[in-house]
Structure 1
Amino acid sequence: MDKKQLYTALKQHFGFTEFREGQLATVKSVLAGQNTLAILPTGGGKSLLYQLPAYLLPGAVLVVSPLISLMQDQVDHLHRNGEKRVLMLSGQGGGQARQQQLANLANAKFIFASPELLANPAVIDAFHHVQLSLLTVDEAHCISQWGPDFRPEYLLLKELRHQLGDPVTLLLTATATPRVRHDILAKLGLPQGAVTVIKRSVNRPNLFLAVEDYASSKDKQAGLAKLVRQLPGAGIIYFASRRLATTMAEWLRENSSLAVAAYHAGMPAADRFRVQQQFMADQLQVVCATSAFGMGIDKADIRFVIHYHLPTSLENYLQEIGRAGRDGQQSVAILLHCPGDEQLTRQLTQVDFPTATRFDQVQAGKLPVQALGTNYELFDFYRRHQYDYQRLKRIFSRRQQLVADQLGQVRRYLELTTCRRQFILTYFGEIPAVQANNCCDIDEPDWQAAPLLPPRQLVDHPEEIGDWATQLRQLLNLS
């Protein structure tokens, strides 16, 4: 299909007249039958990369996705655009409803599924009756990031691909270092030379980068309150703890005029959905969240992302701050830090490994799998897939060293005396870009020196406040 035909199809199916950077090359690669890894920034229009080929190819597209909320967002988007040939398979359904879904697979154009569900032999058998033109792995960094120590079913995608007849495969992610790119392809059994890699820079020029150091947790809490009163528009505050996300949401509601809610995986699904919808509809100004809040949040006008605790890696940090400023307007990403933060993050990334004796007793059926500890489901997965104790220990030892190295890079980012943007670009294997201004607190150390914005209670009367983007530029002394 030539370029003119692709533009015609883009207009017909999506109403767009232009492709975003990286989209056209990715679509052409997929239509040419090439396995493709597309690394495009958050908000770069990744869903179009499998949706447009789906309309131009016979059969169905299978999209493997890590979160139900992310799948639901894509399903809802397709439905709003008039597409009815959509199925979402997840662990929440079962029995007769599941059987009915599997019987209808051949009638679907778009099929969304979690990796856990695709490990079910009955589901794979149902796919043998489906003409599958494209296998898409959304958030493909999960293959590397989550495979060894969380969501190990991602390690089964290589075998799944073979069982499905080795269809053309599209891998989508927003951030991937050279190491992660290599790891993704290796775990899927795809030779590097046989995969087309299409990559856009992780650089977001409209995103101002800052670190705020505090002497104590009490000072940091006060600093957070000051920041959210200053910063205009909608924002996300990330926490490492569910409990603290809830507590701080309550505290901010009591000590400000902000409309604030908490969001974490421990909340009932209905409450999470309500918070997400209220945030999207501008009924909430700030969400205090764990990392569970993010994938599938396609709100263009988020003006700030604040991390109250340290991220576990720069990869995670770039994913999360990439939710700010998707409309291209000036936005800000702020990482807060005080003594003791590193210890908390280190504790959260530790995995308690069982002893060899206990592992052997479980293997021999003398103890229940729960005896493997708090992460028993994780270890039981490997045990059931014929991993012996020494092999498993080597895997987790390498993983823990990698986690420690990644946290070390976050620490380096905190302590920088040179440009933060240049450091991030170098980390992701890019040639550092030259950015004259609007960059980071190293280049603009007085970025908070502008007068405070009008009180946030005026948010109900936007005509009294004016344009949020203009206000943020004033805050950053950039106007």
Structure 2
Amino acid sequence: MYKRLSLENELEHYFGYSEFRTGQKEIISDCLDGKDVLGILPTGTGKSICYQLPSRLLDGITIVVSPLISLMMDQVKELKAKNYKEAVAINSFLDYENRKYIFRNINKYKLIYVSPEILQQKELQSYLQSLSVSLFVVDEAHCISQWGHEFRPDYQKLDTITEMLGNPPVLALSATATNEVQEDIISSLKRPSMIKHVFPMDRTNIALSVQEVVNNEEKLEIITSVLKERKMPSLIYFSSKSAAENVSHILSERLPDHRIAYYHGGMEQMDRIAIQQQFMNDQIDIICCTSAFGMGINKNNIRFVFHYHFPGQLESFIQEIGRAGRDGHQSVSILLYSKQDIFLPKQMIESELPSDEDLMRVYRGIHSYQKNNLSLPHNIEEIESFFEVSEVQWRFISFQLDKHGINLENGLKYDQSKIEQTFKLIQNIRDERLLLKQSKLNDILRWIQAEGCLREKLYTKFQKVYTKIDEYCCSNCGINLQSFKPDQTNKNRSTQSWEIKLKRLLLIGE
């Protein structure tokens, strides 16, 4: 437990800010009092301060679970620039020597960033158990609900980590979470007494425009027309990696004065970090990206967020448009859609979860291995080849098997009736997840085609009220994008310094 006369003085001393933003002080005060907290704050309002300041003031260690390596590396870099040397990120980028150095000196750190996957490593767990952990933080906590069931099941195992660490107070932070997602977070973390601090998420400086088009060529024409006379940081979101690459090449030809790049999860990690750093340093104007880009990006002058494809749920849409206008200046979200766009998110939903045929094939494969006293392959490529399922589908299946008491990695044989019963449970869980995902897809489709104020219909699903705006509200209320003329990006900048900054960024052990 921690008490000080003035948290404002501590904030200014450590971070140079004279006052707290909405919600920060309430969340920090409860964390310092040792309470479990769920904080829902709008994007761009400084959620990281909610655990960075307590990590300075509490006696023990603060562990932060972060979804992206680039996000945790950026935060550590910023903290070190503010003379907070006791912060470190433990991730797959660390070489053997750096990792061993950090492990040997782990008690010297105050703030440790990790991914949920790294947390499952036994070596790291043994070192963390030797520490006195004062606060366990789940940053971007909606990932527990959004990714934890299929894509990254280790998010669903965080409760076992907190138990192993002696059940320290837990802080879960997010920018978007419906009541259902909030309950999913609390249930997964097994913290039923969490204090909720939920604040309005509508950003009054982001105008919303939805435009129906005939085809993809019309999308390109609109994007080109809007950006031709406006050279400023912009994001264009895609649901397809190949589309992001192709459109970046087309726009580079149509907008020769703009510096354009693409970014997606299929790229090499060094390439992704390089692109991100160039964008942060105003050396790239436009990024054509998938949802892999943007989480935690602390760039305050993004003016346009386009959606070439719409995401599969409103939560993702709000998170992505929330990357615009973090400096409080007017910005615009433009969603472009055509009738055929609906097939892409439907296809993605179906591909993420195993079909009945997939489950039956895996069931028979496991039965065959058990019957012949063979060990299952551990390499993901071999698993995909043998069972004919994708990596994401296998993660879902293997997590559910483990959750229901069947651990295929320990070499034990299981009663066939138990395995059969478990696969029936997995089938039911799969059906529930499909219904939920389809429901969320229907929500965003209804919003796209809605009549009346788009701001009202977007935000009232997440909160009881929203802020009415007279000018630059939404396309249904009437906005004139031609009159939107924010400051242009400075054209006379060095485009070479990012390499030096990237090398500095990667000096983790310094």
What are the Cα deviations for residues 100-141 of structure 1, in whole angstroms up to 9, with x where unaligned? Answer: 322222111111111011112222221111011100000000
2:481 alignment partner, SS class: coil
Match of 2:504 in 1: none
CA distance change for structure 1 residues 297 and 355 in 2, over 3 Å: closer, same or farther? closer
Question: How many Å apart are 1:93 and its aligned residue?
Answer: 3.9
Distance 1:244 1:221 in 2: 12
Distance 2:396 2:78 in 1: 33
Question: How many Å apart are 1:166 and its aligned residue?
Answer: 0.7
Distance 1:365 1:83 in 2: 55
Higher mean alpha-carbon deviation, 418-427 vs 347-356, is at 347-356
Distance 2:334 2:475 in 1: 10
Match of 1:447 in 2: 480
Q: Is structure 2 residue 99 aligned with structure 1 residue 120? A: no
Match of 2:22 in 1: 21
AA in 2 matched with 1:33: G
Question: How many Å apart are 1:3 and its aligned residue?
Answer: 6.8
What are the Cα deviations for residues 262-292 of structure 1, in whole angstroms up to 9, with x where unaligned? Answer: 1111112222122111111111111111111
Distance 2:238 2:54 in 1: 38
Question: How many Å apart are 1:36 and its aligned residue?
Answer: 0.6
Higher mean alpha-carbon deviation, 203-212 vs 222-231, is at 222-231
Match of 1:382 in 2: 400
- Assess if the C-alpha contact under 8 Å between 2:204 and 2:467 holds in 1: no
Q: Is structure 2 residue 345 aligned with structure 1 residue 345? A: yes
- Assess if the C-alpha contact under 8 Å between 2:354 and 2:430 holds in 1: no
Distance 1:188 1:410 in 2: 28
- Assess if the C-alpha contact under 8 Å between 1:209 and 1:420 holds in 2: yes
Distance 1:138 1:166 in 2: 18
Question: How many Å apart are 1:154 and its aligned residue?
Answer: 0.6
- Assess if the C-alpha contact under 8 Å between 2:455 and 2:474 holds in 1: yes
What are the within-5 Å matches in structure 2 for residues 262-277 of structure 1?
262-277=262-277
Question: How many Å apart are 1:96 and its aligned residue?
Answer: 5.3
CA distance change for structure 1 residues 455 and 115 in 2, over 3 Å: closer, same or farther? closer
1:162 alignment partner, SS class: helix
AA in 1 matched with 2:133: L
Match of 2:367 in 1: 364
1:348 alignment partner, SS class: helix
Q: Is structure 2 residue 14 aligned with structure 1 residue 10? A: no
Match of 1:297 in 2: 297
Distance 1:430 1:229 in 2: 39
Q: Which runs of 5+ in 1 are unaligned?
A: 463-479
Distance 2:395 2:157 in 1: 16
Distance 2:444 2:354 in 1: 23
Distance 2:195 2:52 in 1: 19
Match of 2:460 in 1: 426
CA distance change for structure 1 residues 55 and 328 in 2, over 3 Å: closer, same or farther? same
- Assess if the C-alpha contact under 8 Å between 2:263 and 2:288 holds in 1: yes
Distance 1:312 1:454 in 2: 30
- Assess if the C-alpha contact under 8 Å between 1:87 and 1:105 holds in 2: no
Higher mean alpha-carbon deviation, 70-79 vs 317-326, is at 70-79
Question: How many Å apart are 1:377 and its aligned residue?
Answer: 3.9
Residue among 418, 436, 439 paired with 1:405: 439
How many residues are treated as equivalent by the alignment?
Answer: 457
Question: How many Å apart are 1:459 and its aligned residue?
Answer: 5.6
Higher mean alpha-carbon deviation, 359-368 vs 17-26, is at 359-368
AA in 2 matched with 1:423: K
Distance 1:34 1:360 in 2: 44
Distance 2:251 2:449 in 1: 28
Question: How many Å apart are 1:453 and its aligned residue?
Answer: 6.3
What are the Cα deviations for residues 130-186 of structure 1, in whole angstroms up to 9, with x where unaligned? Answer: 011100000000111111111000110111111111101111111111110111001
Higher mean alpha-carbon deviation, 240-249 vs 362-371, is at 362-371
CA distance change for structure 1 residues 162 and 423 in 2, over 3 Å: closer, same or farther? same
CA distance change for structure 1 residues 27 and 404 in 2, over 3 Å: closer, same or farther? same
Higher mean alpha-carbon deviation, 256-265 vs 431-440, is at 431-440
Match of 1:329 in 2: 329
Match of 1:202 in 2: 201
1:394 alignment partner, SS class: helix
Distance 2:288 2:162 in 1: 38
CA distance change for structure 1 residues 454 and 141 in 2, over 3 Å: closer, same or farther? closer
Match of 1:392 in 2: 426
Question: How many Å apart are 1:384 and its aligned residue?
Answer: 4.0
Question: How many Å apart are 1:361 and its aligned residue?
Answer: 3.0
CA distance change for structure 1 residues 311 and 25 in 2, over 3 Å: closer, same or farther? same
- Assess if the C-alpha contact under 8 Å between 1:232 and 1:303 holds in 2: no
Higher mean alpha-carbon deviation, 276-285 vs 379-388, is at 379-388
Distance 1:95 1:171 in 2: 31
1:358 alignment partner, SS class: helix
Distance 2:15 2:97 in 1: 35
AA in 1 matched with 2:313: S
1:306 alignment partner, SS class: strand
Match of 1:468 in 2: none
What are the Cα deviations for residues 223-260 of structure 1, in whole angstroms up to 9, with x where unaligned? Answer: 22212225452100011111111111111111112111
Question: How many Å apart are 1:97 and its aligned residue?
Answer: 4.3
AA in 1 matched with 2:103: L
AA in 1 matched with 2:447: Y
Distance 1:454 1:172 in 2: 32
Distance 2:354 2:491 in 1: 49
- Assess if the C-alpha contact under 8 Å between 1:143 and 1:184 holds in 2: yes
What are the Cα deviations for residues 420-466 of structure 1, in whole angstroms up to 9, with x where unaligned? Answer: 1101121103223332332111111x52354x96998x96279xxxx
Match of 1:183 in 2: 184
Match of 1:217 in 2: 216
Distance 2:365 2:51 in 1: 43
Distance 1:437 1:313 in 2: 27
Match of 2:491 in 1: 460
Identity among equivalent pairs (%): 35
Question: How many Å apart are 1:95 and its aligned residue?
Answer: 4.8
- Assess if the C-alpha contact under 8 Å between 2:37 and 2:196 holds in 1: yes
CA distance change for structure 1 residues 232 and 204 in 2, over 3 Å: closer, same or farther? farther
AA in 1 matched with 2:475: D
Question: How many Å apart are 1:4 and its aligned residue?
Answer: 4.1
- Assess if the C-alpha contact under 8 Å between 1:231 and 1:304 holds in 2: no
Match of 1:150 in 2: 151
Question: How many Å apart are 1:213 and its aligned residue?
Answer: 0.8
Distance 1:301 1:355 in 2: 46
- Assess if the C-alpha contact under 8 Å between 2:261 and 2:284 holds in 1: yes
AA in 2 matched with 1:50: Y
Distance 1:148 1:328 in 2: 35
Match of 1:102 in 2: 103
